[in-house]
Structure 1
Amino acid sequence: MSLSSAISIAQSAFSTTAVQTATVSKNIANAGNADYSRRMAMLGTTPGGAQVASIYRAQNEALLKQNLLSISQSSAQSSLLSGLEILKSALGGNDYETSPSTYLSAFHDSLQTFASTPGNSTIAATVVSDASDLAKSISSTAAAVQDLRLDTDKQIAEEVANLNALLASFETANNAVKQATAAGTDATAALDDRDSLLKQIAELVGISTVTRADNDTVIYTADGTVLFETQPRQVTFTPTTAYDATVTGSAIFIDAVPLAAGSGADTTAQGKLASLVQLRDEVAPTFQSQLDEMARGLVSLFQEGGAPGLFTWTDGTVPADGTIEPGIAASLAVNPAAQADPFLLRDGGFNGVVANTDGDAGFTDLLDGFITAMDEDMTFDAAAGLDGTSSIMEFAASSIGWFEQLRSGASTADDNKTALLARTEEALGKVTGVSIDEELSLLLDLEQSYKASAKLISTVDAMMASLLEAVR
């Protein structure tokens, strides 16, 4: 080996070590960045010594796709559970102490007490007060359900706008990747940006990806609709300004295809948007129907002469049996006449039909009939999602049971999907993440390489000095 060759090799080693050191330093600086993939300087051999041929970015497509799926599933489940927890709070929390079922039981008990002492004016007033509390519980719960639907609708609008913004950013990042790949320049930073955007998009909608020439990526939704191909597809949504039991919210359209809602406590939704649609259009309306059926049942059970008696609503009629009357729960109230004269419940006379014509203080026929009716089976609309034949007491209890089963199942599924997401992130991190220990160990190796190169230069310098000395 000539001295000039030795110097060339040493210079190449210095240059290579510098690039490797810069790469390791960058890795260490981004050790806590979940969107950063580890870089490695790949070496190649040339006549002038080793040189950095390329900067390799750690990646694993299979693990990334599994991670994107886990993100979508966990995000959807979390959104569904969050909405259910809001409803649970409106019902009084863990014990459901402000739920219609609780107030219905209290009203039933006070009605029985009144039947045992029908001449007691204090107890009569208590029954009417409990009836008023029951009506308020049903109407306020119905209002909470519609408030949840409205808030969910607003959240959908915000997330659709966010999705469109993310897709626009993805176009920029994807173009940067394609240009760098085509030019043969370093595309690692652009790839990091693009993968980060994919994770954020996956939180909103389930996706799958296909990579084409020049590292171009196409994004599809979970049901196969094109979300991005060269440029973003249009995601549209028309917000609804007000909700009641008769209003149906607008669909989310991706490239003119409606986004399907999730279903079940362990929701089939992928991405937050599908679970929000499920909450707004399936869960909340079903619970609203149950409230409407409770209200309809009370109006029907306590009617007098074919018109509302103790319980009334804005329409002022007795709805047909076994058919949901949308929105009746929102306006359910106690007849003002009962508040003025609580003994109307015992004697009748809300609509001029007096049963206790003698004014007997011990008259209990109507009260006994009401109690018996509350415990007997009646027909409910199967569209409410509960047993179509049961007593109103059983129906109210089943409604809370239905809701708690849904919420409990959603909570368990959320724990499972969160754990799965953590495991996929850990698996992906082991492949693409930065290990400080590995990087520090590599720095020590590079230090030894630098020392060897320095030693080579020192030796060449000494040889050159000896050579010059010899020719003097």
Structure 2
Amino acid sequence: MSLSSAMNTAQAIFNNTGTQTSTVSKNMANSGNADYAKRTTIVSTTLFGAQVSTTVRAQNEVLMRQNLTAISQNSGQQSVLSALGDMRSVMGGTNYEMSPAKYLEALRNKIHEYATRPSDQVVGAGVISAAQDAVTALNTASSEIQRVRADADKQIEAQVDKLNNLLSEFKAANDMVTTETARGGDPNDALDRRDSLLKQISEIVGVSIVNRENNDVVLYTSDGTTLFETSPRKVTFQRNLFYSASTTGNAIYIDGVAVDAAKSANTTALGSLPALLQVRDDIAPTFQSQLDEIARGLITIFAENGGTIAGLFQNGTSTTVPAAGTLVPGLAASIVVAPNAIANPSKVRDGSVNGTTQNPDNNSSFSTLLDKYDQAFDSSMAFDATAGIDVQKTLITFSSNSLSWLESLRSSATAAGESKTALLSRSAEAYSNMTGVSLDEELSLMLDLEQSYKAATKLVSAIDEMLQALLNIAS
């Protein structure tokens, strides 16, 4: 080997080692960055010796897609689970202490007590107090369920705004990737940024990816709607500021196509948007219907004049008795204790709250109607099928089944949430193992590079000594 070729070799080692060290240092600096993919320098042999030809970014398309799907599934499930937790809190938490079912039991007990002592006005006043508690529970629960719907609408608005912003950022990152790829530059940082944005987009809506020339990509939603192709597609939504049982929420549109609400406790939602639609348009309205049916059952049980006019309970100022087995939307919010009953509790005993007295002699021991009301709590009645539970049950059983429906839904959602969280953890770990930085590996490589650098310095030192010897001979 000539001195010039030896010097070229040493120079190549220094160049290669510098590039490789820079790459390893960057890897180590980003070892805790989940959005960073490991870089590897590729050294190839040329006519001029070994040279770094390119820097490769670690990637695995299959694991990346699996990870994005897991992110979407988990995000959707957690959105549903969070809303169900809010709904359970409305009912008083774990023991459902504030549920209408609890207050119905208390009211029934007071009616039974009043039937045994119909002349006791203190007991009669207790019936009115229990009735007001039941009404308050229904009014409050209805209001809070509509708040859950309004909150879902607010979250949808925020998520839509966030998605539009992310898509704008995605365009900038994608343009950088395609530009750098086309001109033979380094698109790796832009690829990291684009993948990071994909993860954030996947939390909002499920995406599928189609790769094109120059690392360009097209994004579609999980149902096939175009989300991004060269430029972002517009995502639009109009929020409702107020919700009642009769309010229908507005649709979310992506590129003019409405997003479908998800289904089931183990939600089919990919991303938060379809899950929030499920909460707003399915879960909360179904529970609202159950509350409305409980309110209708109360009005029916205490109806007077042979069931033709409302008695102890009425719908606002109306004394009309709702039709059997037919849902009245929003009734739980508008049900009240009849003012006449509050003014004179004995009217409940006599059936004269709004109707014609059944105790014309004003007999203080009259208990016929009170016994009838007591027994009615154990009598089967028809409920509307849209409430999502049994259509023929006693009011007490129906109210208990409503809680069971909510708890079953929440329990199933919790189990599904645990499974999807575990799946996300495993998929993220598998993806990280393939593309993430291992400090042990990088440190080992750094030691190897150090040895290469030392070898180059020794070679340069040897060349220096040889040149010095030649100069000494020449002189």
Q: Same fold (TM over 0.5)?
A: yes
* Identical-residue share of aligned pairs (%): 50
In structure 2, the partner of 1:141 is 141
User: SS where residue 94 of structure 2 aligns?
Assistant: helix
1:395 alignment counterpart: 398
Q: Give 1:17 shift.
A: 0.3
Q: How does 1:279-298 map to 2 (within 5 A)?
A: 279-298=279-298
Length, aligned pairs only: 472
Deviation at 1:47, TM superposition (A): 2.7
Describe how 1:67-78 pairs up with structure 2 within 5 A: 67-78=67-78
CA distance in structure 2 between the partners assigned to 1:159 and 1:421 by the alignment: 21
Answer yes or no: is the 8 Å Cα contact 1:295–1:329 preserved in 2.
Answer: yes
Corresponding residue to 1:411 among 406, 411, 414: 414
* Structure 2 partner of 1:19: 19
Question: 2:365 maps to what in 1?
Answer: 362
Q: SS at 2:270's partner residue?
A: coil
Per-residue CA distance 1:160-218 (angstroms, 9 max, x = gap): 01000000100000000000100111110000000000000000001110111100011
User: 1:352, 1:30 → 2: CA distance?
Assistant: 79
1:270 is matched with: 270
Pick one of 372, 375, 381 that aligns with 2:375.
Answer: 372
Contact 1:301 1:374 in 2 (8 A): yes
SS in 2 for 1:95: coil
How many angstroms apart in 2 are the aligned matches of 1:110 and 1:12? 95
The Cα shift of 1:297 comes to: 1.2
Tell me if structure 1 keeps the 8 A contact 2:72–2:205: yes
1:449 aligns with 2:452: yes
Give the equivalent residue in structure 2 for 1:200.
Answer: 200
Q: What's 2:348 paired with?
A: 345
Q: Note the aligned Cα RMSD (angstroms).
A: 0.9
For residue 315 of structure 1, report the CA deviation from its aligned partner. 5.4
Q: Deviations over 1:402-443 (max 9, x none)?
A: 000001111111111111101111111111111111111111
Aligned to 1:232: 232
**TM norm structure 1:** 0.99
Deviation at residue 319 of structure 1 after TM alignment: 1.2
2-structure distance, mates of 1:227, 1:431: 28
CA contact (8 A) 2:309 2:355 kept: no
SS at match of 1:375: coil
The runs of 5 or more residues in structure 2 that have no matched partner are: none
Structure 2 SS opposite 1:93: coil
Give SS of 1:136's match.
helix
Tell me the secondary structure at the aligned position of residue 236 of structure 2. Answer: strand
**One-letter code of the match for 1:452?**
A
CA distance in 1, matches of 2:162, 2:389: 37
* Partner Cα separation in structure 2 for residue 356 and residue 314 of structure 1: 26
Normalised to the residue count of structure 2, the TM-score between the two structures is 0.98
Give yes or no for contact 2:296–2:322 (8 Å, CA) kept in 1: yes
Amino acid at match of 2:261: A
CA contact (8 A) 2:92 2:98 kept: yes
User: Partner amino acid for 1:398?
Assistant: N
Structure 2 equivalent of residue 119 of structure 1:
119
Aligned position for 1:324:
327
Secondary structure of 2:51's aligned partner: strand
Q: What are the superposed Cα offsets for residues 328-353 of structure 1, whole Å, 9 maximum, x if unpaired?
A: 11111111111111111111211241
**C-alpha distance in structure 1 between counterparts of 2:428 and 2:317, whole Å:** 56
Preserved CA contact (<8 Å) 1:5 1:48: no
Q: Counterparts of 1:351 and 1:183 in 2: how far apart (Å)? A: 86
Which one of the candidate residues 307, 312, 317 is aligned to 1:310? 312
Whether 1:460 aligns to 2:453 is no
CA deviation map 1:233-285 (0-9, x unaligned) = 11111111211111100010111111111100000000000000000000011
CA distance in 2, matches of 1:47, 1:76: 56
Counterpart mapping for 1:131-210 below 5 A = 131-210=131-210
- Distance between the aligned counterparts of 1:399 and 1:334, measured in 2? 22
Aligned equivalents of 2:27, 2:267: Cα separation in 1? 38
Quick check: 1:428 aligned with 2:431? yes
Matches of 1:352 and 1:369, distance apart in 2: 16
